[in-house]
Amino acid sequence: MTASAAATRAAQTLSRPFTLGGRTIPNRIAMAPMTREFSPGGVPGADVADYYARRAAGGVGLIITEGTYVGHPAAGTSDAVPRFYGADALDGWSRVVEAVHAAGGTIMPQLWHVGMARKAGAPPFPDAPPSGPSGLALDGTPSGHAMTQRDLDEVIAAFAEAAATAERLGFDGVELHGAHGYLIDQFLWSGTNRRTDAYGGSRTARTRFAAEIVAACRAAVSPDFPVLFRMSQWKMGNYEARLAETPDELQEIVAPLTDAGVTAFHASTRRYWLPEFEDSDLNLAGWVKKLSGRPTLTVGSVGLDNEFLATFAHEQAGVSGIDRLLDRLERDEFDLVAIGRALLGDPEWAAKILEGRTDALVPFDASMLRTLN
């Protein structure tokens, strides 16, 4: 295939609009949520608004923000990560929304509670203990507070309030962070959920907390307001962890979330091209779409020649082709594609791909994490 034909194929495949709930995404390219810690005191400033607007102006159809803490004392573990409560932080987010919309993009905040990933004594509420389903860290050690029913109700309410706030501020939807070993995922995973009440035990029971959060958010916003759910098999520091070993086991998780009102699923993998289960080429996003009937977003080293673990070793990631991605998108394995590090290194990645200017793509280097480019 000639360079011209490849560019035409990429443009035709990725430039198609897509509808999520009552919102139309201009194309199939999303920005993946990536924690940046450039919001002093939890308040996103003008530099954060400019950062996201640059990606929208550079052709990204949907911005999913970095994780932003919901209004619960144990939700966070840094005072440089933005929060989604308090007049000062919400004023900052209003300016982010305005900037992204002015640049032609759509935007959703990722709503986040870190659960047992919280460090004891950390801001923004030093006295709040790490909290999770069973008070267990990802390595299984007891190191925090096992949540009571009152705790669960308070967290569910905090997510619902944040979702309603997002709609009020003019966001185009919300994403619930149910992946990577943070609070919601800690309930989903047997390694951290040892409860014997209605929120633990079977795979479906372990999904109850997540489903109640989805349902509460769904009830707090308009019927056509998108509620996305991000999920993963892997956890931070435990990359071999799995929620489901088979499609049937995955269905036990996906079905309650679908019934609760998820608009679309964002299936987080480290390498989008890897099959999730034996005897099928479908990746995790493909399987979730097949089982749920809902749209899905895929993610994982798109446009780069190594995965994100290399970032921690300060290795540069070179530019990689996306032919395999287009193959899967063309056969509707998934619906949207989330881009991570490639967009950190090159705010115009989307426009360059859509316009066939692949020779101008900028490789990603770990040093880029030190600035809000």
Q: Which residues are catalytic?
A: 182
Which amino acid is present at 348? E
Q: Where are the beta strands (DSSP E) in the chain?
A: 18-20, 23-25, 29-31, 62-69, 106-112, 131-132, 145-146, 174-180, 227-235, 264-268, 296-299, 336-339
Q: Answer whether 15's CB lies under 8 Å from 27's CB.
A: yes
Whole-angstrom distance, CA of residue 295 vs CA of residue 275: 18
SS3 for 258-320 is HHHCCCEEEEECCCCCCCCCCCCCCCHHHHHHHHHCCCEEEECCCCECCCCHHHHCCCCECEC
Give which of 55, 43, 211, 34 is closest to 110, Cα–Cα.
34
CA-based diameter of the chain, in Å?
Answer: 61
| Chain centre distance of CA 347 | 19
Tokens of 330: 């063309």
Residue with tokens 């573990």: 77
- DSSP string covering 76-109, please? -S-SSS-BS-SHHHHHHHHHHHHHHHHTT-EEEE
Query: Is-cis flag, bond preceding 124, omega within 30?
Result: yes
User: How many residues belong to the chain?
Assistant: 373
Neighbours of 86 (CB within 10 A): 14
DSSP symbol at 119: P
Q: Which helix or strand (DSSP H or E) is residue 166 part of?
A: helix 149-169
- Strand 29-31, strand 23-25: pairing: unpaired
